[in-house]
Chain A
Amino acid sequence: MSSDQERILARAAREVAPGQIVNLGIGLPTRLFHYLPPEMEVLVHSENGVLGCQPLVAGGEPDLEMIDSGGAYIGARPGASVFDSALSFAMIRRSRVDVTFMGAFEVDQQGNLANWKIPGKFSPGIGGAMELAQKVETLVVLCSHNDKHGQPKILRQCRLPLTAPRCVTLIITEKAVMQVTDAGLEVLDIAEGLDVATLRAATEADLIIDEERLGRF
């Protein structure tokens, strides 16, 4: 894992509070598992039908009937439950999941999120992302600040098909932590060693930055 991803995950772990129910999206967010203190009382929800996922003990024999939504073999922690897919999504639609972490192709300053389809290139289906994005109270996007060609992913307006409109609470990239507010995208933290001008140059969205209050991570 790159140091950029480690920076994102270490910062993201601070957004989880003891006692919460947390959903971790496929890809980078799944690895947040390993950044949560083992003794922390948190139940990780996976939309295939489990509340209380636990990483497998290294070298342990997997139970082939226990996976998370990304297909990784998992265990169940004390207090866990398993259930069918309709119930799992009822839990999501009724906002019983406190916080969800997701990747993004694009996210914009209104809090719109696009993370499921690139027309003509990538359309495997939306899976559970739409209901999570629309109904979970706190949605934290974990993604690289720019795509592999260096183009900004934090935009004024998403161009790809939306997963859900106005659903994002917080965006954590390797460069900044940005909160979606009514006034726009407010930078809470900037990466150690990065200056504001460089951050603005790497970002298409208009950023609200108060240098007096700016945190480092």
Chain B
Amino acid sequence: MTLLNQKHATIEAAIATIPDGASIMVGGFGSPGTPFALLDELLAQGQKHLTLIKNDANEPDIGIGRLIRAGRVDRLITSHIGLNRVAIEEMNQGRLAVEMHPQGLLAEKIRCAGAGHYGFLTDIGLGTEIAEGRREIECDGQTWAIEPAIRADLALVHADLADAYGNLVYRGTAINFNPLMAMAADRVIAQAFRVEAPGHLPPETIHTPCAFVSQVVRVDEATSEQGRRAHVI
């Protein structure tokens, strides 16, 4: 883990630490919370054979949609890709391996990895085709499915505010998967619109404590390339 006083990084340096073949969690539900600037830098630097873990596939020309269109993603672990016709086409043509999970199970599998557990037991999906291939066990007279946790090499997250130690504060519905992923990956790169000196953020407002964050990058809120990006639909 990066030392506290060495986390504030440039976007180029932070993304340059990502190797080909990495598994990467990407925050966001649709556009809010998607770390657009980090993803665009990843596109520019050229890493390939990536496994991405994200709730959705964004839309074809933004966020991970650009990486998928550029053929840089081998595998996507997700919940719903209905807004990205390119991702659906890549999946149907066999060029993109897609693993789908019910959204709440995907969130919980990531939360579980972040809490340091192997997995959890659930009754969600029993009696449906989601249950096919899952291991089931009997506990206290009831059937449960075993859901293993999902971890990753890296997480790319978007926060509204950060400090230079990497403490993070999210805003609105941009929270979504970000705090879960920030705990479930070996290395965490956060982008934020403001990076304050330590002490500026009230301790009780911190969503993700800096212990989980490897590097923090300031991005410009005012430009559409770096800041928030509008949902098309």
Contacts and interface: CB of A to CB of B under 8 A. Distances in A.
Interface of A: 46-50, 63-73, 82-86, 88-89, 92-93, 124-131, 134-135, 161-165
Nearest to A166: B127
Given A84-B107, A124-B88, 8 more contacts: A49-B173, A49-B175, A71-B30, A71-B233, A126-B100, A135-B124, A164-B127, A164-B128
10 contacts: A47-B103, A65-B160, A65-B171, A65-B228, A67-B32, A67-B173, A84-B175, A89-B107, A126-B102, A131-B105
Interface residues of B, number: 46
A128 B98 CA distance: 17
B79 interface: yes
A70 B56 CA distance: 12
Contact of B108 (A70, A89, A124): A89
Contacts of A70: 233
A72 B130 CA distance: 28
A73 B32 CA distance: 10
B205 to A, nearest CB: 13
Given A93-B104, A93-B124, A85 B29 contact: yes
Contact of A128 (B30, B103, B233): B103
A198 B44 CA distance: 61
B144 interface: no
B81 interface: yes
Contacts of A164: 127-128
A47 to B, nearest CB: 7
Contact of B107 (A73, A85, A125, A130): A85
Nearest to A89: B104
Chain A, interface SS category: loop
Interface in B56-111: 78-83, 88, 98, 100, 102-105, 107-108, 110-111
Interface string B213-233: 000000000000000111101
Given A125-B80, A162-B128, A67 B177 contact: no
Contacts of A127: 79-80, 82, 102-103
Contact of B103 (A85, A134, A135, A162): A85
B125 interface: yes
Given A125-B100, A161-B129, A67 B180 contact: no
Contact of B173 (A65, A89, A165): A65
Please indicate which of the listed interface residues B175, B228, B233 has the most CB atoms of chain A within 10 Å of its own CB: B175
B172 interface: yes
B30 A131 contact: no
B79 A126 contact: yes
Contacts of B171: 65
Nearest to B33: A65
A162 B105 CA distance: 17
Given A124-B88, A130-B130, A92 B173 contact: no
B176 interface: yes
